[in-house]
Amino acid sequence: MKILHATSELYPLIKTGGLADVLGSLPFAQKALGHDARAVLPYYRHVRDLLPDAALVAERDTFGGHIAVRYAEYNGLGLYLIDAPHLYDRPGNPYHNEHYFDYADNVIRFAVLGWTAAALATGLDEVWGKADILHAHDWQAGLAPAYLNAWNAYIKSVFTIHNIAYQGIFQSKHLGEVGLPWEMFHVDGVEFHGQISFLKAGLFYADHITTVSPTYADEITREPAANGMSGLLYTRKQEGRLSGVLNGVDDKVWNPQTDAALAKTFHPKAMQGKKADKKAVQAFFGLNDDDKAMLTVMVSRLTPQKGADFLLESLHEKLPANPDLQFALLGSGAPEMEQAFVRLAEQYPQQVGVYIGYNEELAHQLIGGGDVIVIPSRFEPCGLTQLYGLKYGTLPLVRRTGGLADTVVQTDEETLKNKTATGFVFDEPTAGALGGALENALSLWRKPRAWSPVRQHAMAQDFGWHKAAESYDACYRSLL
């Protein structure tokens, strides 16, 4: 099967979050199943630096100006790169400038991504020919199924929602500028409350919609989780055209037995290395060098989604009461949140360490050295760091929502007895509920003989990409 993924991120070439991790793994898992999977993404400055010699495939004059489509292979994966310096040759983040302002021409930048994906799927690369499946990810690629529809191209398309909170909404006047017909400006089309929504375009015109966990697939058929899309999504669910496929973990990138970022690697049957990793994190942040403290870590974007606000409130209460509680954060996002955590670290220097910024290596070190990883999200389509935590024996403490609910088993009397516990789960998005889960974790932590089997069971979980690749396979086949 020829599969073309359309994406704005792909690890390790360009990453702001989990979308990149997924696109850095799924196509490889599909190739392992024997498919010809490729991806198309913008030739951002950073990508050009990493893959400078991409070969020319085709050139076109589009509504977004002159573009060249180039081809390069990354670790054997075929990548189509949209070479349009006037759109993509900018430093840093793919979506906004250094002051966190979205680029004013994002409507064109990502319409060109959708257009090029549709053009490739319909044979722009004469050597590759047409794709069997165009698989578009998140709003940035949402127009791709709309172009296929506008061109009456009978290429099957799948649209995956990684996060419905980001919708790509632009003023209606832009519709003419991106080469789509005005008939599409309709409630059964790209229109959303008088504006154009790239997300809605993907949802409406794709042959099938998936999202990244079964629970989130259910949650987004209702408000408020659906962010205004519940009508359409509920209908698609009834039609059997919406499903949830849980993300996986890339064993080549996240594996405590081979992880080069760790001070020491470790293994479920040889956990000594994890002690050294914990010591290294404590030393890095200047925390008490105390093996008996429960090192709780967080690696996250600091946006309202992630619940860092009520985590902060809970930590202010729990840190003074529990000298054996430590907290280390790697995160970036809302400046006032960043500042609040920096102040927390100043207040509790022996217990709290904070690193503001983006740092791939430190992410591995925290997840490797931690005892607990906290993910108190208000909503979470899948979440990947809890999966990394499980694999590294760093027990996830999560809110029961989306993919977090699907992947972490609460520790209680029953799950301890039947040996299914893998972490700590709470329900309400409040400091009180989170604090209860922290107490639960601390009480298990203080009984090392009880902690160790839970950790072993967590590490034995299998969230390999092969499962997801097989589910997408079944989905594609049902369309073809």
Q: Given the rule CB under 6 A, which residues bind ligand ADP?
A: 17-18, 21, 299-301, 330-332, 358-360, 363, 382-385
Minimum gap (Å) between residue 385 Cβ and ligand GLC: 9
Minimum gap (Å) between residue 379 Cβ and ligand GLC: 8
300 makes contact, choosing from ligand GLC, ligand ADP, none, with CB < 5 to 8 Å by partner type, with ligand ADP
Minimum gap (Å) between residue 307 Cβ and ligand ADP: 12
434 makes contact, choosing from ligand ADP, ligand GLC, none, with CB < 5 to 8 Å by partner type, with none
Closest residue to bound ligand GLC by CB: 18
How distant, in Å, are the alpha carbons of 260, 305, 338, 371 from that of 335?
31, 15, 5, 27
Q: Of 228 and 333, which CB lies nearer to ligand ADP in the complex structure?
A: 333
Q: Of 19 and 155, which CB lies nearer to ligand GLC in the complex structure?
A: 19
Minimum gap (Å) between residue 141 Cβ and ligand GLC: 13
Question: In whole angstroms, what is the distance from residue 65 CA to residue 86 CA?
Answer: 8
Question: In whole angstroms, what is the distance from residue 397 CA to residue 178 CA?
Answer: 44
Binding site for ligand GLC (CB under 6 A): 17-19, 22, 162-163, 212, 247, 380-384, 403
Minimum gap (Å) between residue 469 Cβ and ligand GLC: 14
Minimum gap (Å) between residue 377 Cβ and ligand GLC: 8
Question: In 367-436, which ranges are E strands?
Answer: 372-375, 395-399, 424-426
Closest residue to bound ligand ADP by CB: 18
Question: In whole angstroms, what is the distance from residue 104 CA to residue 429 CA?
Answer: 34
Question: In whole angstroms, what is the distance from residue 146 CA to residue 157 CA?
Answer: 10
Q: Of 9 and 83, which CB lies nearer to ligand ADP in the complex structure?
A: 9
Side-chain-side CA neighbours of residue 173 (13 Å): 0
Phi, psi angle pair for 125, to nearest 5°: -90, 105
Q: Of 78 and 94, which CB lies nearer to ligand ADP in the complex structure?
A: 94
Quote the tokens at residue 128. Answer: 């590759």
CB 230 within 8 A of CB 170: no
365 makes contact, choosing from ligand ADP, ligand GLC, none, with CB < 5 to 8 Å by partner type, with none
CA neighbor of 155 nearest in space, from 146, 168, 164, 163: 146
Give the chain's length.
480
Minimum gap (Å) between residue 332 Cβ and ligand ADP: 5
**How far does CA 470 lie from the centroid of its chain?**
19
Q: Of 189 and 389, which CB lies nearer to ligand ADP in the complex structure?
A: 389
Reduce the secondary structure of 171-209 to three states and give it as a string. Answer: EHHHHHHHCCCHHHCCCCCCEECCEEEHHHHHHHHCCEE
262 makes contact, choosing from ligand GLC, ligand ADP, none, with CB < 5 to 8 Å by partner type, with none
Kindly give, in sequence order, each residue whose CB lies less than 8 Å from that of residue 445, ignoring residues fewer than 6 positions away. Answer: 294, 324, 371, 372, 451
Q: Of 124 and 299, which CB lies nearer to ligand ADP in the complex structure?
A: 299
Question: Where would I find the H helices in 72-178?
Answer: 85-88, 106-121, 143-150
Q: Of 299 and 458, which CB lies nearer to ligand ADP in the complex structure?
A: 299
Question: In whole angstroms, what is the distance from residue 419 CA to residue 399 CA?
Answer: 21
358 makes contact, choosing from ligand GLC, ligand ADP, none, with CB < 5 to 8 Å by partner type, with ligand ADP
212 makes contact, choosing from ligand GLC, ligand ADP, none, with CB < 5 to 8 Å by partner type, with ligand GLC
CB 454 within 8 A of CB 12: no
Minimum gap (Å) between residue 20 Cβ and ligand ADP: 7
15 is in an annotated binding site: yes
Q: Of 17 and 429, which CB lies nearer to ligand GLC in the complex structure?
A: 17
359 makes contact, choosing from ligand GLC, ligand ADP, none, with CB < 5 to 8 Å by partner type, with ligand ADP
Binding site, by residue number, is 15
